[in-house]
């Protein structure tokens, strides 16, 4: 099993992920994706979009604004309920999310329940706690020309929030899509985008951060068919995680969330848990949200959210099934599953066994010697051919060929292609496999 610190080290060393604002000392809960991280992240998001959207006739994409009318969050319940239990150490004044530092409790924990666990402060080691307080995790901002000395009423009227989830952008566009496309039920609306949560204590690398990317679909279904649709999506999620993202089946687990732990809008929730290096954590969620969101929008906006069936003429407010996944959590799961250490000729080797559909580069092209112009020229021709055909191809002529192999192994490149003197004679190249290190000669035309 790989260690989280090894993956973090690899991410920074090879340009996958850097600490946010690193040059200024960083900013907790923020991370910057480097050149390789951007490609891997984009590949993950593209594969999700292809699997869940492009492969289906009844799923439509949207891209809603991050800043939304504040009534959105009143209707959704976020203004009143989107909070975590905050507890403060009286000794060192450090603040924590209570359910994340004590065992055997959940986010609805009371002060008495927390104190009964006799949890010590992770910073100073003392056991002297204040009362638990509810901390709303939405980031607030002000829209328009508002100054610090403006009156309170004007300031409150200008208050808006960075969206804590992408789902509400989908729900607020449900009627727009129905009015313009009038799709048959069931149909889905999909969105990928940024979400912001003011985590009390961000931790575990990119597992719990303050700015993240989400991929969510709201499937609108007839109330009588939610169970069969739920089951279809449940199986599709496994197909995506295990066969498209290449996550080991024995590391993906379903957790049926009990009623007391479900979100206020859910009548059934399955959490897909993954065995990360630091333990089992939530990777993906599947929730049956009933008509909670559309009914709330109907009440808050005064506009009907009913759908009229084309065939039967029946009118009703659809129910909703939501598969939701955080890109960063999936990114880390993919890295964790791919990270491998082995030995080659008695030397330790780190290799990312990424599937070809996700690897930042499909091929690396190299001349055997960079000081031989004829090899470099031929290698450049091969490189350009492959770039046009596959796009995600890289060039490397630094150091000896062994060091190049090790570098490409660490960033997950499946195949290395080397142009040598035999290439000049017969137009064949050496192709070296990342996982087995086996080498074969192939005609350039067969690449």
Count: domains in the chain:
2
Contacts of 343 (CB under 8 A, 6+ apart): 349
Report the C-alpha gap between 215 and 191 in whole angstroms. Answer: 6
DSSP assignment letter at 67: B
Does residue 29 lie in a domain region?
A: yes
Residue 249 φ then ψ, to 5°: -60, -35
The one-character DSSP state at 207 is T
284 and 408 share a domain? no
CA gap 143, 224 in Å, rounded: 42
172 lies in the same domain as 300: yes
Residues 320 and 284 placed together within one structural domain of the fold: yes
How remote is the C-alpha of 327 from its chain's centroid? 1
Residues 376 and 442 in one domain: yes
Please state the pTM of the whole predicted model: 0.90
User: Domain limits at 388?
Assistant: 361-446
Q: Which residues of the chain have pLDDT under 70?
A: 1, 148, 151-156
- Asked whether residue 411 falls in the same domain as residue 331, the answer is no
Tokens of 89: 């150490």
The answer to whether residues 83 and 98 touch, using CB atoms and an 8 Å cutoff, is no
Residue 297 lies in a domain: yes
CATH number where 178 lies: 3.30.930.10
Closest C-alpha among 221, 248, 196 to residue 353: 248
Same domain, 20 and 60: yes
Q: What is the pLDDT of residue 1?
A: 61
* Euclidean distance between CA atoms 53 and 215, whole angstroms: 11
Q: Assess if residue 151 is contained within a domain.
A: no
Q: Is 411 part of any domain?
A: yes
pLDDT in tens, 99-108: 889 888 888 8
Domain end position, chosen among 335, 369, 388: 335
């Amino acid at each position: 099993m790989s260690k989280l610190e090894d993956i973090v080290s690899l991410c920074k060393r090879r340009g996958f992920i850097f600490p946010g604002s690193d040059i200024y000392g960083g900013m907790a809960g923020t991370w910057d994706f480097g050149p390789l991280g951007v490609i891997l992240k984009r590949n993950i998001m593209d594969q999700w979009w292809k699997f869940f959207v492009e492969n289906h006739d009844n799923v439509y994409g949207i891209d809603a604004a991050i800043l939304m009318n504040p009534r959105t969050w009143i209707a959704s319940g976020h203004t009143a309920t989107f909070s975590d239990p905050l507890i403060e150490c009286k000794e060192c004044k450090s603040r924590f999310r209570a359910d994340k530092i004590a065992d055997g409790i959940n986010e609805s924990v009371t002060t008495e329940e927390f104190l009964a666990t006799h949890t010590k402060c992770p910073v100073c080691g003392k056991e002297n706690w204040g009362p638990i307080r509810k901390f709303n995790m939405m980031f607030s901002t002000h829209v328009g020309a508002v100054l610090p000395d403006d009156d309170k009423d004007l300031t409150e009227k200008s208050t808006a929030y960075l969206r804590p989830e992408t789902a509400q952008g989908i729900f607020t566009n449900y009627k727009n899509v129905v009015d313009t496309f009038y799709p048959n039920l069931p149909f889905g609306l999909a969105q990928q985008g940024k979400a912001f949560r003011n985590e009390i204590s961000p931790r575990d690398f990119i597992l719990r951060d303050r700015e993240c990317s989400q991929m969510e679909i709201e499937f609108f279904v007839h109330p009588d068919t939610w169970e069969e649709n739920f089951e279809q999506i449940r199986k599709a999620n496994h197909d995506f995680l295990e066969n498209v993202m290449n996550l080991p089946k024995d590391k993906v687990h379903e957790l049926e969330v009990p009623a007391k732990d479900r979100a206020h809008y859910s009548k059934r929730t399955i959490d897909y848990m993954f065995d990360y290096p630091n333990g089992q954590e939530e990777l993906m969620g599947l929730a049956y949200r009933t008509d909670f969101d559309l009914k709330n929008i109907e009440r808050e906006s005064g506009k009907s959210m009913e759908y009229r069936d084309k065939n039967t003429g029946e009118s009703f407010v659809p129910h909703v099934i939501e598969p939701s996944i955080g890109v960063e959590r999936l990114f880390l799961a993919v890295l964790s599953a791919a990270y491998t250490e082995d030995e080659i000729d008695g030397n330790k080797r780190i290799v990312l066994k990424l599937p070809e559909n996700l690897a930042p580069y499909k091929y690396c092209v190299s001349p055997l010697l960079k000081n031989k112009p004829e090899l470099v020229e031929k290698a450049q021709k091969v490189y350009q051919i492959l770039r046009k055909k596959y796009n995600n191809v890289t060039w490397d002529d630094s150091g000896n060929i062994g060091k190049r192999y090790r570098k490409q192994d660490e960033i997950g490149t499946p195949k290395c292609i080397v142009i040598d003197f035999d290439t000049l004679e017969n137009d064949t190249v050496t192709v070296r496999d990342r996982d087995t290190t086996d080498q074969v000669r192939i005609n350039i035309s067969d690449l």
